[in-house]
Amino acid sequence: MSLQLKDLYDSFREPNTIKALSQQIKKESLKLKEPLYIMEVCGGHTHTIMKYGLKQLLPKNIEFIHGPGCPVCIMPKERIDHAISLANLDDVILLTLGDMIRVPGSKTSLAQERAKGCDIRPLYSPLDAIKIATENPDKKVIFFAIGFETTTPMTASVLKIVEKKKITNLYFHINHVLVPPAVEAIMQSGEAKINAFIGPSHVSVISGAKIYSPLADEYNTPVAVSGFEPVDVMESILMIVKQKNEEQTKVEIQYSRAVTLDGNIKAQEMIAKYMTPRTHFRWRGIGDIESSALVLREEYAQYDAEKVFAEFLSDEPIDDHKLCICGTILKGLAKPSDCKVFGTACTPNTPLGSCMVSSEGACNAYYRFEEI
């Protein structure tokens, strides 16, 4: 990292700046007519909040509510079982990203299956799937693709190369999900106390901040699209408080160094070329949400692992461990510290649920940074 870039990063973590923002927030919060319950949708924001102790710098009438913006955390067990079933087929190499390998399915995990001899490989870049497929022409290579709008263009770009190079042994199991429908479902339920949002920034780089406008308009909730550094988050909270005091409900872009209102149009067009919304997709702990995930378009069915290997896959819903409250946390109805097995039976080394496994999960953040 260059010295100039390091100085830039340090400026977003500068203690005096964070303290100054904290004082401004406390001053403005005295004018609030009601407490602020701010959902930070993205797990990356949750980790920033916990790591830098930001909630301790806020007044008591401002509270964080953790959201469903962790693609590993929201993956239901039956989808993980799909990956496990595919990995156990003859002559298959299964590829996926990072934490997905450790998430428990109904009976086992991809990590356990790999230890038994299945060829399961973590990808550092989805483009590595091309190299693995071309180097193993006698194998069926299946990419278990996960992520929100942030990572979807990368999967689409891999499919574009596959199509161009006429690669016939690479298949896609698509698990890309969309932020707005999930947040809409949480708000429609009326269960969680939410009256403001910190919007995911990396998602917004692709889709644009405009995707949150219906949310702000329908539910009268201020939205600040925030970067991931502590100064970013504190500045976003100040934006939200000021909106509340001025009786405004709009979408503001704090992360203006990367996010625009319209987003990356070329990436959006590439996604639309290869994928279309599913009728339904079951989110862990939230349930079926209409048009909340993507699937390959029919013209690319020959690459769709769910269709090519349909006889080996089951979509029967599978419940979480009885003691795990991950679903309740994802809906903004509980904190990790409310869980009876948090930090005892459930730890990052022995996770009962996905929120503890994922590096973006709320339980993982509390375990690493919170003093219970």
Q: What is the pLDDT of residues 281-319, one digit of tens each?
A: 999 888 999 999 999 999 999 999 999 999 999 989 988
b/e sequence 74-110, b meaning 16+ C-beta within 10 Å: bbbbbbbbbbbbbbbeeebbbbbbebbbbbbbbeebb
Residue 273 above 80 pLDDT? Answer: yes
- Give me the amino acid identity at 282: R
- Tokens 């403001």 -> residue: 196
pLDDT for the residue 232: 97
Q: Which residue has the tokens 């490989």?
A: 121
- Kindly give, in sequence order, each residue whose CB lies less than 8 Å from that of residue 75, ignoring residues fewer than 6 positions away: 100, 103, 146, 175, 284, 354
Cα–Cα distances in angstroms (integers) from residue 168 to residues 80, 92, 136, 304, 340, in the given order: 24, 14, 11, 12, 49
At 23-67, the pLDDT tens digits run 999 999 999 999 999 999 999 999 999 999 999 999 999 999 999
Scanning the structure block, which residue is given the tokens 């692709």?
A: 206
- Would you mind telling me the total number of residues written for the chain in this entry? 372
Separation CA 319–CA 188 (nearest Å): 23
Bridge partners (DSSP) of residue 102 are none
Q: What is the pLDDT of residue 1?
A: 53
The pLDDT value given to residue 286: 86
Query: What pLDDT, in 10s, does the model give residues 208-258?
Result: 999 999 999 999 999 999 999 999 999 999 999 999 999 999 999 999 999
What's phi and psi for 46, nearest 5 deg? -55, -45
CB atoms within 10 A of CB 120: 27
Confidence band for 97, pLDDT divided at 50, 70 and 90: confident
Question: Do 77-179+263-312 and 17-67+180-249 fall under one CATH topology?
Answer: yes
d(CA 203, CA 184): 16
> What ranges do the domains of the chain cover?
17-67+180-249, 77-179+263-312, 336-369
What was the pLDDT predicted at 6?
52
So what's the pLDDT on residue 354? 87
**Banded pLDDT at 372 (limits 50, 70, 90):** very low
Helix (H) or strand (E) holding 51: helix 43-51
**Taking a C-beta distance cutoff of 8 angstroms, is the pair 319, 81 a contact?**
no
Q: Where are the beta strands (DSSP E) in the chain?
A: 36-42, 62-69, 92-97, 119-123, 140-147, 170-176, 196-199, 223-225, 251-253, 275-277, 280-283, 287-290, 294-296
- Looking at the predicted structure, is the pLDDT value of residue 5 above 70? no
| pLDDT bracket for residue 371 (50, 70, 90) | low
Tokens 């830098």, residue? 52
CATH of domain 77-179+263-312: 3.40.50.11740
Among residues of the chain, what percentage have pLDDT more than 70?
97
Decide: 145 and 173 in contact? Cβ < 8 Å: yes
Domain 17-67+180-249: assigned CATH number: 3.40.50.11750
Query: Nearest-CA neighbor of 204 among 222, 174, 224?
Result: 224
Do residues 205 and 150 make contact, with C-beta atoms less than 8 angstroms apart?
yes
